[in-house]
Amino acid sequence: MSRAETRTPPSPQTRNTAEIKLAFDDNRYASLVFGQYDQHIARIEHRLGVAASASGNHVVIKGPPEACGQARSVLESLYARVRQGQTITLGDVDGTIAEIALQGTLFPARENDGGRVNFGQIATRKRGPVRARNQAQDLYLKLLKQNELVFAEGPAGTGKTWLAVGQAVALLEAGSVERLILSRPAVEAGERLGFLPGDMREKVDPYLRPVYDALYDFMDGRSVERGMQTGMIEVAPLAFMRGRTLTNACVLLDEAQNTTSMQMKMFLTRLGEGSRMIVTGDPSQIDLPPGQKSGLVEAVRLLSGVEGIGHVRFSGADVVRHDLVRRIVAAYEGAAPPPGHNAAGH
C-alpha cells in the first residue's frame, strides 16, 4: 500500500523532531487522500501539529515523533478507504484523526484486532459502509444495535439524526423491520398550518426536510418514492402517531426536545412487537412556550437505567459537520445555562 521511511535528526536542536516519508502505490488514490489543493493534508497539519508536504504520490511529514506517527497512520487509513472505493471528506479526515489519536487511551483494545481500534459502522446499499467518526458515535451505533429504544442528545452537527436514519435504512434493507416511520414535532402542526397552501404533506414537509435529506443520502431516490407510495416509508409529524401501535417498524423521532411531556409519553407507548425506536434532540434548543417542560429532558430523566433503553449524550467536541461549527457550539456551550432548560428555567 505504502512505503515509509522514518528518520529522527540527531542534532540536539532537533532531537524532538521526526521526519517520515511516505510513498503510496497509486498516484490517483494518493491525490484523493491528499484532497483538492491538499486540503486534507492541511487539516492533518492543523489538527496534529505537524508540517506535511505532498508531491505526486509522496508525502513528507515533520514534527514531534508521536504526532508524525499519528499523521502517518491517518494517511494510511484514508488510503485504505479510498482503495475500497469510499469517498473522503474533511469530516472523514477529522474522524480518522480522532480514531488514531485515541487508540490505546480512551478505547480498550478489542479482541482479534491486534490492538487497533475500529469504530462501529453501518452499511446501506447506496452508501456502503459508513463508519463512526468519534467515540460518541461509536457508542451510539453500538446502542442502536443492542437496544429497542435509544435516546441521543446533543448539539447540531454531531450526526444524531443522520446516523439514526442510516441505521433505520440498514434495518429495513436487512429485513429486520418492514417499514420506516420518521417523525418530528411540528410546533405549528395544528390549526396554525391551515393558512399554508397545499395538502397536508406539502404543509408539513418544511418541518421534515432534514429527515428527507438524510433519507435520500442513504437510499436511492426511486426507492424512497416507491417506499413512500407503498407505505413502507412514512414521514409524518408527531401528531399523526396518536392512537397507533407500531409493529415491525423502525421509528425515529427527531427534534424531540420540542415535544411536551404528554406527546413524548404518547410516542413512546406506540412501540409494538418487533419495533425499534430512536429519539434524538438538542436540549439546548427548546422552542416550547415558556414554562412548558421538554418531553425529551423528562423522558431521559425518568427512564435512566431502564433495561432495554440506551442513552448517549453528544457534546460540542463531537461535532463532525464542520470545524467552525464545532467552535461555534463550544462558544455557546460556554455561555449557555444548563442544558434542558428553556427560557423559563424548565
User: pLDDT under 50 in the chain at which residues?
Assistant: 12-13, 104-117, 188-193, 343-346
Give the chain's domains with CATH numbers.
Answer: 2-102 (3.30.1370.10), 125-335 (3.40.50.300)
pLDDT given at position 336: 63
> Tell me: the pLDDT tens digits for 7-52?
555 554 455 788 999 999 989 999 999 999 899 999 999 888 999 9
Q: Three-state SS for 53?
A: strand
b/e per residue 118-140 (b: at least 16 CB within 10 A): ebbebebeebeebbbbbbbbbbb
CB 253 within 8 A of CB 238: yes
> Tell me: the pLDDT tens digits for 128-166?
888 887 888 889 999 999 999 999 999 888 889 999 999
> Within a 13 Å sphere around the CA of 233, how many CA atoms are in the beta-carbon half?
21
**Residue whose cell numbers read 398550518:** 193
Average confidence score pLDDT of the chain: 81
pLDDT given at position 119: 60
Q: How many other C-beta atoms are found inside a 10 Å radius of the C-beta of residue 310?
A: 18
Model confidence, pTM: 0.68
